[in-house]
Each structure stands twice: as structure tokens, then as C-alpha cells.
Homo-oligomer: A and B are copies of this chain.
Amino acid sequence: MEKEQETLRAWKERVARELDRVVAFWLEHSHDQEQGGFFTCLGRDGRVYDDLKYVWLQGRQVWMYCRLYRQFERFRRPELLNAAKAGGEFLLRYAQVAPPAKKCAFVLTRDGRPVKVQRTIFSECFYTMAMNELWRVTGDARYQSEAMEMMDQIVSWVREDPSGLGRPQLPGAPASESMAVPMMLLNLVEQLGEADEELAGISAELGDWCAQRILQHVQRGGQAVLENVSEDGEELSGCLGRHQNPGHALEAGWFLLRYAIRRGDAKLRAHVIDKFLLLPFHSGWDPEHGGLFYFQDADGLCPTQLEWAMKLWWPHSEAMIAFLMGYSETGDPALLRIFYQVAEYTFRWFRDPEYGEWFGYLNRDGKVALTIKGGPFKGCFHVPRCLAMCEEMLNDLLSRLA
């Protein structure tokens, strides 16, 4: 018992120190003091190697700074709030490609001109998260009305009419659902409902719908989580149908875990731990070198994605959150052991003791494949979110033990 407490305390301190270093990295290197918003293409030492602004990452960094500001005494600093506000204003001014249409760009030039548009909902989702957090921190109603309008648009694209996304309907393309969509929506439902009791009530139906859609991705008699299924929850043919993304399943796992906890549904909680935590961990963990594979094929065939065997920072961050949350909720020591296993691997291989932040992309054997700290898909999000949530959960666990 004392031993356990000691290990938890050591990890809490390790995680808190790491969070400080990670936040310091982004504060030092990523702020565009002239135009607002954030540089995210940062080399190993933080140097900007490209000044494009990826909308996902702008929204995520605004969200992250607001969260840290709101929930951690030591991050309640004007520096974070001002950068978040400047990022929010940048998004308000430039993210939408052709306002009043809500469609947002995927990437903008440094001064906000659209470079590329994705035919998905994700830029808009991170925009919504950013606006909602900004409202919660500043109280400025403009941000919240932006968040609510964008949320309505996203829900309408997903549940009513996707034509505004610009994807052509082709007769050979199966009507498929990527798990990312209901996952992201469930995350938004929680984000928006947290601070608004009334909204929480209205969106309960949406949350239930999302959860039910995510659960449809458990296939093959409960033996596999598949990333893509048909509209009516059946396995699709070919590589698309067999595609697995263990990190995504684990991230969906902790979204669902929180949903089950909010509803007080112990049976669902157990199901989620079994299918979205243990199953992807056991199938996705590399028995030879450790770490989680990026992609797998449910029949054990070779995936066609070149990076399938690489180890990426975000599945490991999400796995840390998922297993620590699972342990916090159940007290099952097996889940704590997996948390330690993932965290040890992660701190050993992803962390950069020299320049701060984490490497994002390792080869299968754990060696650094890309030295960048940020890029088109890696910004100030998965690492600090993981560290902040783990620090909070470890604090809670320690105070419960005290």
C-alpha cells in the first residue's frame, strides 16, 4: 500500500514536471506575435521550419491553453490567456473559407489565406472546442455563440446532410462510418455539456447516439474493434473493413468510459474496459519491441499503410489516459500495471530530454524516425492533454489514498 502510494507519487511528480517542460516549449517557440495564432511546424529545437497554420492545431492549442489556465493554478498566467485569445481571434477571422458558410480550411497561410480544405468535419470540431473553452475562460458570449453555431452545423452534416462537406457520392463507395466521427462528436457533447446543464440535457440524445455508433465498431463477436463499418454496423469488405487503429480505439475508450461514468452504467463501463482498452492494447502492443503499432489488419495481414509499424506519440498518450482512468474508476491493479508499462515506454522513447516536448514518430524499434516536434498533424495537444489529465487523476488517487 505504501509502495503503491510511493510509485503513484513518483509518477505524479514526473508527469507534472514533464507538463511544465512541454508547456514551456510551446510558449517559447510557437506563438506568432505578429499575426496571432500558432506556428506548429517546429524542429527538434523548436525552430520554425514552415509557417503554415493548420486549423486543427490552432483550435487544439487554444483549447489546451484555456484548459490549463482554467484548471491549473500554476498555468493561470496572462501569457497563456493572451495567446489563446489571439489564436481564437485568428480562427474567427480566417478559419471559415467562405463565410457565412461554416466550412473551415484545413490549413491557412501565416496571414490566414486558405491553402487546403478537407472534406471532413474535423477542422470545425477543433474550432468548436476552442471557442467553447475561450467562452468558459473569458465569459465572452461571442465565443460561445460561435461554438454553438458550428456545433449545429457539424451535427447537421453528420446526421442530416453531408453535402456541404463537398464529398462526391460515388456508386462504388460503400456507405461507411469512420469511428473518428462519432468519437469526435461524443467528445464535443461532453465539452459543451460540462459547463451548461441545460445543454447537457438537450444533447443527451446526441451523446447516446454517438456512444451507440462507436459501440457498433466492436465486431467479429467482440474480438476486434474495426475503424470503419457500414452505416448499419456491419463489417465492410477488403482492407477498409479490416483496418484497425489501436490508438484510436483506446482514445474512444476513455471517451466512452467518461460517458459510462456520467450515466452510472457499470455494465457499459466493464464492456468498454474489455473491448476498447484491453482488446486493442493486447492486439496492438508490439511483443518484440514494445509500443503500440499505428495500424493493423484484423486478419493479421500486412496493412497497406507504409507507417503501420511505426510508433506514434498520440496512441501512447491516449493509452496512458485510458488505463489510468480505467484504474481510477475500478481500482483494478491490472489496469494500473498497463498504465505503468505504457508510461515507461513513452517516457523512455518519445521524450526529448535535451530540447523538451516529445518526438512524434519512432520506427518500430523505438528509434526516432522524424526529429520534428510539431508538424501538419502534431501540435500542442495530445502530449499536454495526456500529462494534464494524468496529473489530475494521479492527484485524485493520492488524495483518496491519503
Residues of A within 8 A of B (CB): 41, 43-44, 49-52, 97, 105, 107-109, 112-117, 168, 170-173, 237-239, 301-304, 306-310, 361, 363-364, 369-372, 375-376
Q: Are B43 and A302 in contact (CB under 8 A)?
A: yes
Q: Are B171 and A370 in contact (CB under 8 A)?
A: no
Q: Are A238 and B170 in contact (CB under 8 A)?
A: no
When A168-B117, A172-B113 are in contact, do A301 and B43 touch as well, CB less than 8 Å? yes
CB distance from A315 to the nearest CB of B (A): 14
In the complex, given contacts A304-B372, A363-B363, what are 9 additional A-B residue pairs having Cβ atoms less than 8 angstroms apart? A41-B239, A49-B238, A50-B238, A97-B170, A105-B170, A105-B172, A113-B171, A116-B173, A306-B306
Q: Are B376 and A304 in contact (CB under 8 A)?
A: yes
- Copies of this protein, total: 2
Decide if the interface of chain A is mainly helix, strand, loop or mixed.
Answer: loop
When A108-B172, A113-B170, A113-B172 are in contact, do A309 and B375 touch as well, CB less than 8 Å? no
Q: Are B309 and A49 in contact (CB under 8 A)?
A: no
CB distance from A112 to the nearest CB of B (A): 8
Question: A52 touches which one: B41, B238, B361 (CB < 8 A)?
Answer: B238
The 6 A-B pairs with the shortest beta carbon distances in the complex, nearest first, are A113-B172, A50-B238, A109-B172, A115-B172, A306-B307, A304-B375
Question: A306 touches which one: B116, B238, B370 (CB < 8 A)?
Answer: B370
Q: Are B304 and A370 in contact (CB under 8 A)?
A: yes
Task: For the complex, give the distance between the alpha carbons of A170 and B115 in Å.
Answer: 6
A-B contact pairs, 6 of them (CB 8 A): A41-B238, A41-B304, A49-B238, A49-B301, A50-B238, A302-B370
Task: For the complex, give the distance between the alpha carbons of A81 and B272 in Å.
Answer: 55
CB distance from A336 to the nearest CB of B (A): 32
Q: Are A372 and B113 in contact (CB under 8 A)?
A: no
Q: Which residue of B lies closest to A294 (CB)?
A: B306
Task: For the complex, give the distance between the alpha carbons of A309 and B115 in Å.
Answer: 27
Q: Are B369 and A309 in contact (CB under 8 A)?
A: yes
CB distance from A244 to the nearest CB of B (A): 15
Q: Are A370 and B239 in contact (CB under 8 A)?
A: no
Task: For the complex, give the distance between the alpha carbons of A237 and B369 in Å.
Answer: 24
- When distances are taken between beta carbons in the complex, the residues of chain B under 8 Å from A370 are 302-304, 306, 308
Task: For the complex, give the distance between the alpha carbons of A306 and B309 in Å.
Answer: 11
When A304-B370, A308-B370 are in contact, do A114 and B171 touch as well, CB less than 8 Å? yes
Task: For the complex, give the distance between the alpha carbons of A312 and B289 in Å.
Answer: 24
Q: Which residue of B lies closest to A368 (CB)?
A: B302
Task: For the complex, give the distance between the alpha carbons of A309 and B370 in Å.
Answer: 9
- When distances are taken between beta carbons in the complex, the residues of chain B under 8 Å from A369 are 306, 309
Q: Which residue of B lies closest to A172 (CB)?
A: B113
- When distances are taken between beta carbons in the complex, the residues of chain B under 8 Å from A170 are 97, 105, 113-117
